[in-house]
Structure 1
Amino acid sequence: MVTADHPVQLGGIHHAAYRCRDAKETVEWYERMLGMRYVTAFAEDHVPSTGAYDPYMHVFLDAGNGNVLAFFELPQQPEMGRDPNTPAWVQHLAFRVADMDALLAAKAHLEAHGVDVLGPTHHGVFQSIYFFDPNGHRVELATDIGTEEQYAELARVAGPMLDEWSQTKKAPRHADWLHAHAGKA
């Protein structure tokens, strides 16, 4: 939650933008695989914020609940890659689904279309599946399964966990209880 007395009052994420290899392929994949609706695009030869000549196509997909996922195709730039010093599992897009039935139905749908899906993976208070889009971006679908008490306890230990991590760079044990029942949910 945004602090009420902070001078910056956020109203949510307007959009998150990533690079893609092919705008049309990306739009079609997200429509077919995740049911997103393609809502708009911008194409320019010059970047509005810098003025630099760098032709691009910027596409926007409705991810539900006012959330928008966007992609840039940049044909004049070197082929896209990823940070070789960051493991592939770290940077990802995570989307919420309603429940375990929806998560399992999504997994079956993706696999039926030839997408390699990992999971469900139990994270204590949510379960997820993971897969890659045609651009190499890791995508996660998650459903919350925790109790109000579990979420309250996670909020309570968040500060001490961050402080301990900051000092030791080792996983704090404040939430060991969370994984003690993994697989029993």
Structure 2
Amino acid sequence: MQIKGIHHVSAMTANARLNVDFYTKVLGMRLIKKTVNQDDTSMYHLFYGDRVGNPGTELTFFEIPNAAANHNGNRSISEIQLRVPDDASIDFWIERLNAHDVVHSDVVDIVGRKTLPFQDPEGQRLAFVSDETNKGIKGGEPWEKSPISASQFIRGLGPVKLTVPKAEVTGMVLADILGFTKVGTRPAEQEGQPEIEIYSVGEGGTGAEVHLEERTDLPPERLGRGGVHHVAFRVEDKEELMEWVEKMKALRIPTSGFVERYYFKSLYFREPNGILFELATDGPGFATDEDEAHLGESLALPPFLEPKRQTIEATIKPLDTGGER
């Protein structure tokens, strides 16, 4: 029962068209799946990643049209880092963000890694992180049709930052239940607050870290567009996931129980500060119902939603991504 790293992060958008344009045309990620929220089929669920959406490369978005802007605050997933190959890539991305009028900050050094904070058009807090010194989990595979060359292509998810009022209790869940190890700290971003704790799991490196920020000066986040819904961690397969289901039962931790997501299997629970964690299997992957060459082009529905396709397509706003039926 070894968690392998970050699996995916799911965030919120109010505008699927704007979202697709930014993440595919500006950032050059591949739209690997255009589907619906399985718990509310009236909204899109969009998945971006590397060439085939390998685990650890997936950034996903739920679309809620007209959603209010996120009110940043405590009890939140407050930054998503995106891995790029090396320090030279950071210089490339500064120029590209400037060319597309993308809001960004200056490059900062975080535990020896060049890091470039920026925001998407809805205020989503992101950062590029250089894999120049990475010795942990390998990055994903470049997509040959991306507008970004292989030497600068986003290789996956880097460290995810959690902002909480009591870091100790979230740290206990990460370490004592999920098997993370505290490997260091980084300076606080706000004067007078504790240092940010760094937890790592599995092979370690940029694809396997959670950065835990304690803030005692913030109100709770009000989730909206530009906010993050949950973070998922990688487990090997269904057999191992079922062991986690049983472990959570034994610990009397409330969970969703086993959930079939078709592209992976999942288990959800909230840690004591209220952040939603998911454990998700590495497979079967996103090419199970679409040809690898045409991922993300058409509306994909898992088999249990296929009988409702006509109703779903009549309800959801059309989103042309190059392969509509």
TM-score, L = length of structure 2:
0.42
State the alpha-carbon separation in 2 of the partners of residues 131 and 143 from structure 1: 15
Residue 175 of structure 1 corresponds to which residue in structure 2?
300
Residue 313 of structure 2 corresponds to which residue in structure 1?
none
Residue 117 of structure 1 corresponds to which residue in structure 2?
255
Residue 280 of structure 2 corresponds to which residue in structure 1?
142
In structure 2, what residue type is equivalent to 1:39? Answer: V
2:245 pairs, out of 96, 100, 107, with 107
SS at structure 2 position matched to 1:135: coil
State the alpha-carbon separation in 1 of the partners of residues 158 and 283 from structure 2: 27
Report if aligned partners of 1:154, 1:175 keep a CA contact under 8 Å in 2: no
Report if aligned partners of 1:126, 1:144 keep a CA contact under 8 Å in 2: yes
In structure 2, what residue type is equivalent to 1:28? Answer: M
Residue 164 of structure 2 corresponds to which residue in structure 1?
20
For residues 72-111 of structure 1, the aligned pairs below 5 Å read: 72-75=213-216, 77-79=217-219, 81-85=220-224, 91-111=229-249
State the alpha-carbon separation in 2 of the partners of residues 6 and 147 from structure 1: 22
State the alpha-carbon separation in 2 of the partners of residues 84 and 12 from structure 1: 24
State the alpha-carbon separation in 2 of the partners of residues 43 and 113 from structure 1: 34
Against the structure 1 CA distance between its residues 113 and 154, is the aligned structure 2 distance closer, same or farther, given a 3 Å change threshold? farther
Larger fraction in helix: 1
Gaps of 5+ in 1: 162-173
State the alpha-carbon separation in 2 of the partners of residues 78 and 125 from structure 1: 37
Cα offsets for 1:129-152 (capped at 9, x unmatched): 100011101011111443785165
State the alpha-carbon separation in 2 of the partners of residues 19 and 13 from structure 1: 18
2:271 pairs, out of 116, 130, 133, with 133
Against the structure 1 CA distance between its residues 54 and 151, is the aligned structure 2 distance closer, same or farther, given a 3 Å change threshold? farther
Gaps of 5+ in 2: 1-49, 51-141, 307-325
Report if aligned partners of 1:128, 1:141 keep a CA contact under 8 Å in 2: yes
RMSD: 3.0
Deviates most, 142-151 or 61-70: 142-151
Against the structure 1 CA distance between its residues 108 and 10, is the aligned structure 2 distance closer, same or farther, given a 3 Å change threshold? same
RCO greater where, 1 or 2, for CA within 8 Å and sep 6 or more? Answer: 2
SS at structure 2 position matched to 1:71: strand
Residue 70 of structure 1 corresponds to which residue in structure 2?
211
SS at structure 1 position matched to 2:221: coil
Deviates most, 125-134 or 35-44: 35-44
Report if aligned partners of 1:17, 1:71 keep a CA contact under 8 Å in 2: yes
Q: Cα distance, 1:58 vs. partner?
A: 0.5
In structure 2, what residue type is equivalent to 1:82? Answer: E
Cα offsets for 1:68-105 (capped at 9, x unmatched): 01110023x134x232557xxx7101011111121011
In structure 2, what residue type is equivalent to 1:103? Answer: L
Deviates most, 102-111 or 56-65: 56-65
2:291 pairs, out of 150, 153, 174, with 153
In structure 1, what residue type is equivalent to 2:218? Answer: P
In structure 2, what residue type is equivalent to 1:70? Answer: H
Report if aligned partners of 1:157, 1:175 keep a CA contact under 8 Å in 2: no
Q: Cα distance, 1:53 vs. partner?
A: 2.9
Against the structure 1 CA distance between its residues 53 and 154, is the aligned structure 2 distance closer, same or farther, given a 3 Å change threshold? same
